[in-house]
Structure formats: structure tokens, C-alpha cells
Amino acid sequence: MPEKNVPEKKLPEKKLRVYVPVTVPMLRRLLTEREIFPVGGTAFAVTPALREAYASGDDEELAEVAMSEAARASLRLIAAEREDLADALEEALEPSGDGAPEPGPSAHGGPVYRRAVLAADVTGAVPRPDLDDAVVKLSGPIPYDRIASAHVDLAEAEPEIAKAVEVIDAADLGDEDAEFVLGDAEDHQLAWYANQELPFLVELL
């Protein structure tokens, strides 16, 4: 008797835990839109390149490395938000046709100086060792239900985070004094919040 053609079963694509750098305003948008797309599609994870870069270290220790890379990227996002706010405010303060300044975004306050990282389980993440050992690129948004936890600075970290935002570009260029300031900020540990705690967290920020 001839054998029947049995359709090949497709194995589910393996999920990867990624760490997504965000800011407090991005967390607010996440709660409204119920999904988030990382800036530039960039996230961080325990990749083969990251494993090769460390002679020792288990998965938990390497995840801490990926998380710290994401936290530093969050600093850059805060710096970009601050620059955008400053540009918008400058534009808003330019005299309008009747000689009065137009209302600007200052009513919404300045940037929130707290690093934030989302841990999420996704499929389809592509490692980009050409950019950095822990970098991965995502092709689409992350639904809210794929987010496992959020990691956010406590209020006591804000003064050091604000100083670090000032010097993050200089630190990237190897300035030793800037690296020292950055180190003070990164001495603060991010607090852990479960997915279901995000609405309460954002309300308090």
C-alpha cells in the first residue's frame, strides 16, 4: 500500500527575550496604543556574539549585560527627547504675526530623567553583531501581552541621570570625565515591575 503524504509539521518559532530601551513618554504611549515599536527597531538580547565576547558568564549574567546596554540606550533616547522639546519650545516662543508668543509644549513639562527598559519575548529578532554584540533588530511592533516586565529608575536616581544625559555624547567619544558621570548614573539599579503593574507605575511618574 502506498504511503500517504503527511504534511510536515512546522515547529513554532522560538521566542527570544529582548530588552527594549524606552522612555517614560514611550511607556505612556504603550498603555494607550497597546503595542510599541522600538526606536529604529533596535533592542538588545543574549546573542551568539555576546556569548563569544565573554569567556565566562551564565545566561543570567549575560542578560544583565544586555539589560545594561539597553539602559544606556535609554539615556540616549532621553537626550533626544530633551533636544526635541528644546527645539519645539524655541519654535513656540518665536513671535507670531500679532507679536505674541504662541503656546508651546512647556505646559507638558520637560523630560523625565529615568531610564526605562522593557523585557519582552518576541520572534523574528535578527542579531546585528556589525552594530554591537548584544544588538538585535525587530521587524515589527511588540504587542503589550508579549511584554514580561518593565525596569525603571527610582526617583532617587534622577539627579545622576540628568547629569548623564548631558554627557552621554561625550562619553560615547571616550571622554573620561563623562564616563565617570555616566558611571555614577549606572550605579543605580533599575526597579522591576510586572506587566500588570505598568498602568500604576506610569500613573505615579
Per-residue model confidence as pLDDT tens digits over 156-179: 999 999 999 999 999 989 999 999
Kindly report, residue by residue over 63-93, the tens digit of the pLDDT: 999 999 999 999 999 999 998 877 776 676 7
Domain boundaries, the chain: 16-87+106-160+189-204
pLDDT category, 145, cuts 50, 70, 90? very high
**Model pLDDT, residue 106:** 37
Residue closest to 19 by CA, chosen among 114, 186, 188, 146: 146
Mean pLDDT of the chain: 87
Using the predicted structure, report yes or no on whether residue 151 has a pLDDT greater than 80.
yes
The count of residues in the chain is 205
Q: Which residue is associated with the grid cell 536616581?
A: 157
Report DSSP letters for 25-73, one per residue: HHHHHHHHHSEE--GGGEEEE--HHHHHH-SS--HHHHHHHHHHHHHHH
The cell for 173 is 567619544
Q: Are 157 and 185 in contact (CB under 8 A)?
A: yes
Rg (CA), the chain: 21
DSSP, collapsed to helix, strand or coil, labels residue 95 as strand
Strand partners, 117: 21, 151
Cβ neighbours, 10 Å, residue 203: 9
- Lowest-pLDDT range of 29-38, 101-110, 122-131, 181-190: 101-110
